[in-house]
Structure 1
Amino acid sequence: MPSAMATIATPSASAASTNASNYMPHITKSMPYPKSDVRINLRDHSSSKIYTSSSPVAGDVTITTKRDVRFDSIQIVLIGNTKASFDGMSFPQEVTHTFLKMVMPISESVYPIPRVLETGHTYTIPFNFVIPNQLTINACNHDRLSDQLQDHHVLLPPSLGGFQKDDMAPRMTKIEYVIKARVLSEPVLGGKKTRIVEATQQIQVLPASSEEPPLNVTEKDKLYNMSKTKAIRKTFLGTKVGRLTATALQPSAAVVSADGTCLKARPTARISLTYDPESPTMPPPQITTISGKITAHTYYSSGTISSFPNLGVWNQPYILDRRGHFFTSVPLPPIGAPEKQPSWKHRFTSTTRRDSGYGSESSDSSGPTDKAKSRSGSKNTKSPVYLTSTLDIPFDLPTDKKTFVPTFHSCIASRVYTLSLSIGVAAKGASSTVSLTMPLQVAIDGPSNGDTDPTQGLPTFEEAAADEHLRPRVLHVPDEIPAGRASWGPHIGSPFAPAYTEHSGEVAVGGDDELPGYGETGHHRRRD
């Protein structure tokens, strides 16, 4: 019995094309809903504008829909984020820390009734933010080694990675300030709100900062080299004519304008020089050349940073967090030789005088000629005098080429600067170069009176306490001054007693009290 076989007729190419055109099913492409137009319009804004502390960020949000859209609320927020990313063969990692979230309150009268965005209608919602002077205490609530570090972590960090001029930041680290306008819909049964439409606008922020005290640099801080001693020789293995020790002091802060375009305060590096000549008749050395560079160091971590990354050792073994350190240098404008050579003072050598530098190079050791003299038992010809001097080196920052963000330390990112100076000296036909690396703080000048509206900013805890402390009081002139021990100090109920104010059942002295700190009532610092 023959088996049943299915026969499939294969038409010719011409027939196939004809049938395809006749029997092709009609496919209707589902068109998406027309998009709504949401725009953030900033007042007096440009792509190059830089905001600073207490700067108003004002404007409005316009919403135009091409279909009726039912919604529940509209949200306008100013968000500050720090992002750190790490590349790896196994898995890449990106960490985001939100340190700032300011929500613009929207009045109920702004919303339409019912809450439906009608087709073709344009809705305008104004907003007004003020860049804060610092963050809330809750912005930094992780383990830390010192209260000083938390004080840095609650300061507003600058934008990083979005300026028109290079801010010397790596692509692995970004700090962004973004205004977001959202139209939200809330499920009937509750739950997470759904974003129907959203618009974003990024702004650049350089917060004002003040000069910090100088760092206490020790031998463990490998990033810096504050002192160095070099032997001055005519040739590499020739006779030593003297020994020069250079010790640097941390220069004053380089204060940049609020828009980052110019230098408001020119810093000066002070170098202490000590010269030990081989003979008391030798002339002091001459400063021949001075050159320098500024290096921007950016530290970032996948976890919270609990110590200053520029002090000590940053990449320590046996840590779980992934860490990165990126640095790039920019040469200083030409400094050249000083117009006037430093004046040297002759001092007599004492048996108790020590080397002024904690780090010395191997070039300080005696050369072959000196060793030969020692072996031959020749008389010690070391000079009984030494010379001291001070060299002041003013320098500028190349703000026309780079954007210098302020020195800052945040929870997962930090930026510090180092100043490297190379000083060339010459003495009696011999020459040498001494190189030093010292910390340099970059600060941002406060805004001028015309840049901000003094009524916009909110007072800090300290300002509010100072206002309460300096509130005028009415004192009555006493009829007579009490005699004896009663005149030593005021007493409650006497006309000399300071004013007292009751707050929640507590009695606060308004006279000689200090301003309340974080450890006092109403100002609790969070400790882990």
Structure 2
Amino acid sequence: MSSPSFHSEGETSHYRSRSIAGLLSKPNIQFSLEGHDGPKGTTYSTMDQIKGTVTVTAQNDTRFDELEIAFMGSSKTFVDRMATTAAISGRTEASKNFLKLTQPILENEYPQPRILEAGQTYQFPFTFNVPNQLLPKSCGHRCETRGVREAHLQLPPSLGDKDLNANSGVAPDDLTPDMAKVTYAIRATFVRIRDNDSRETIVAEKSKKVRIIPAVEEQPPVSLKANLEDYRFRQEKNVKRNMFKGKLGRLVMESVQPKCLRLPSPKGSGDNRVTTLATIMLRFDPASEASQLPRLSTLTTKLKAWTHFASSVRRSYPTKANTMMDMTQGVHGDSTLLSSRNIETVEWTKHTAPSTRRTSTNWIPEPSSAYSSGPFYTCSILVPIDLPTHKSFVPSFYSCLISRIYALDFSLSLHTPGLSSPSVSIKLPIQISCAGSPDTPASPLSMGAAATNALEAVEEAEDVFRPRTIAPPSAMYIGGSANMAGLGAPPSYEVFSQHSGMSVPVAG
């Protein structure tokens, strides 16, 4: 353990005066954003404009050479590895800068000469458009399917910052663990180039976080044969008369993925209620024609939010099974009770012949494993799904390091004398989408693969003529944590702005 250091009173005073002088010598940077005073604070959606001003005041004359105002997007994760062997225990970390847009600053906007004079205030305006998707190089690793790659090229929402949520007028808790964070910010950096070696030094730097909730459309439903370890669309269970007598029959509980929960636009007004409807189908195959129908009791609905995070890039959609086998992955689940409804009055319908008739909302489940022939009974239960307002929900998304998916857990309890409330349950996937701002153009998300193909073709063509440097990796990237930022800075949006009809700020 290192020994504490001591200073005499004179030395301490001199040290403090130097520290205070050093702090005062740095220019003071402030940000102001247009239209951020509403109840939703600094929350922006896809294609929204982020307009504002950087104001800087220097305590002393401060020379600089360049000013960079950038809109940045980054993700950070860490995974704690718990193992019996100390050699493989510990923590792995990763960070990835997936977005950088730079504000062009004209020569006549700089003070001449480039000196921030003491006591003077300088203002530099900026305008950024939140892009509808990332450039292909933001996800440069191999993916198992094209769908995974396209999902990784969508903007992830701001995640894991309770203070930012509170300042933006939404519930602080967004169901995210400390191990995952997605951050967007406007960053202003004053740079000076040293005369002796031409190296850049930062004169002053400051960032202001902004909350981004992108527009997200509903995606195709999950295949009934996929992710069987994470979801359960159907379950069967024997129903007994009581503890000592035989079974009444076999109960089937079944459903399909409901329509998505659609969040309102971050800048929307009016009713912000987010709701959808799930249909639960029950089928009872009696052991005999004399068997009594099961007495239904309570249907409990919970929303599970699963946050997957990793310290290495993901090549496939995350599942809980994969997480258990990979020490670079982690998953955090958060459960929210949505409702608990008494369903004793639900009426059964008797069927005398096998049928799988289906209507727009109801259908007849397939027979249970115990069914042979004879009459059976069905009923349907419509379950409203309402998102609570005391928590902050973000759209479903998949990114290179972090993903958020949701599931609905329906648990049905029965009245059975002498038994402790037997239950049957199913787990359904559900998506959360989000509407875009009403005053911005329609999101070009519908371009999908076509837009990705066009951007890839342009980048591949221009990449042939780009200069290359071959050198050993820097020591800062060898060993230690997995720093995804070391893979390179986020790609410029210059290609996108030159080769499409959209107006996107050019990154430097």
Q: Is 1:446 matched with 2:445? A: no
Q: Paired residue for 1:243?
A: 250
Distance 2:184 2:385 in 1: 32
- The one-letter amino acid paired with 1:293 is K
Structure 1 SS opposite 2:195: coil
CA contact (8 A) 1:160 1:176 kept: yes
Q: Paired residue for 1:107?
A: 106
CA contact (8 A) 1:422 1:436 kept: yes
Higher relative contact order (CA 8 A, sep 6+): 2
CA contact (8 A) 2:254 2:365 kept: no
Q: 1:522 to 1:322 in 2, by over 3 A?
A: closer
Structure 2 SS opposite 1:405: coil
Q: 1:124 to 1:357 in 2, by over 3 A?
A: farther
Matches within 5 A, 1:398-437: 398=388, 400-425=389-414, 432-437=422-427
Q: TM-score, normalised by structure 1?
A: 0.71
Matches within 5 A, 1:220-369: 221-259=228-266, 265-282=274-291, 284-310=293-319, 313-315=321-323, 317=325, 319=326, 322-337=328-343, 341-348=346-353, 356=366
Query: What is the root-mean-square deviation in Å for CA atoms of aligned residues?
Result: 3.5
CA contact (8 A) 1:255 1:264 kept: no
Distance 2:224 2:374 in 1: 32
Larger fraction in helix: 2
Larger radius of gyration: 1
Q: 1:27 to 1:518 in 2, by over 3 A?
A: closer
- The one-letter amino acid paired with 2:144 is L
Q: Paired residue for 2:64?
A: 71
1:223-278 Cα deviation digits (max 9, x unpaired): 11211101111223422111111112011101112239975552112223221012
CA contact (8 A) 2:243 2:418 kept: no
Structure 2 SS opposite 1:395: strand
Shift of 1:44: 2.4
Distance 1:309 1:391 in 2: 31
Matches within 5 A, 1:27-66: 31=18, 32-33=21-22, 34=24, 35-46=26-37, 48-66=41-59
Shift of 1:446: 2.1
Aligned identity (percent) is 29
Shift of 1:322: 1.2
Shift of 1:433: 2.2
1:349-387 Cα deviation digits (max 9, x unpaired): 59xxx99489x8xxx8xxxxxxxxxxxxxxxx9762222
For structure 2, the 5+ residue unaligned runs are: 1-7, 356-363, 461-508
Q: Paired residue for 1:508?
A: none
1:184-230 Cα deviation digits (max 9, x unpaired): 11233665522110111111111111111110143753111211101
Q: 1:461 to 1:349 in 2, by over 3 A?
A: closer
| Structure 1, 425-434 or 293-302: larger mean CA deviation | 425-434
- Number of residues paired by the alignment? 421
Shift of 1:438: 1.0
Shift of 1:71: 0.6
Q: Paired residue for 2:494?
A: none
Structure 1 SS opposite 2:341: coil
Structure 2 SS opposite 1:152: helix
- The one-letter amino acid paired with 2:375 is V
Q: 1:296 to 1:119 in 2, by over 3 A?
A: same
CA contact (8 A) 1:149 1:307 kept: yes
Q: Is 1:155 matched with 2:163? A: no
